Amino acid sequence: MGTHTFTLNGERVTVDVEDDVRLLWVIRDMLGVTGPKYGCGINVCKACTSHINGKAFNPCSVPVGAISEDDEVTTIEGLADGDTLHPMQEAWLDRDVAQCGYCQPGQIMAAVAKVRQCREEGRDVDDDAIEEIRNICRCGTYNRIREAIKAGAENM
């Protein structure tokens, strides 16, 4: 058993678990943060997309032993500022994006990370940039997702 400490949604957490346990299971089962969803476990569907140090990543494919004490993990639960939703979350609601909703936390987290990346690189959040997001939506709400990303980006 190893002891692992990191920051999750702004709070310092410590867990005792084997190094090879996937971070998604630590977040969901040990820490009770259920926004990131399990879809495939092999970094394909991206339903679990969260942020590590501000960048999108998929905790289903990362062992907790790869996380350092300095790492900051943010899930959909940590995106809002108290009761004030993040602009991307607002855009999702305004555009009525969710159908079943299962993939939406990961979609939103991927969108926020993509907007930040585009801004850092001096690029527009255009259709080409949005196409780089590879999260899967089984309901096929991609047109509404695209509209929401563009609207959310305007308010970020």
Give the pLDDT score at 138.
92
Q: Which pair of structure tokens corresponds to residue 21?
A: 């346990």
Spatial CA neighbour of 78 closest among 11, 32, 14, 148: 11
Predicted confidence band of residue 102 (pLDDT cuts 50, 70, 90): very high
Predicted confidence band of residue 78 (pLDDT cuts 50, 70, 90): very high
Predicted confidence band of residue 61 (pLDDT cuts 50, 70, 90): very high
Q: HEC string of 39-91?
A: CCCCCCCCCCCEEECCEEECHHHCEHHHCCCCCEEECHHHCCECCECCHHHHH
Alpha-carbon gap, residue 100 to 134, rounded angstroms: 18
Give the pLDDT score at 1.
80
Alpha-carbon gap, residue 20 to 129, rounded angstroms: 33
Q: Taking residues 59-85, what's their average pLDDT?
A: 97
Spatial CA neighbour of 104 closest among 89, 85, 94, 84: 89
Q: Which pair of structure tokens corresponds to residue 142?
A: 């991609």
Predicted confidence band of residue 85 (pLDDT cuts 50, 70, 90): very high
Q: Taking residues 5-9, what's their average pLDDT?
A: 98
The per-residue pLDDT of the chain, averaged, comes to 96
Please write the tens of the pLDDT for every residue from 111-130: 999 999 999 999 999 999 99
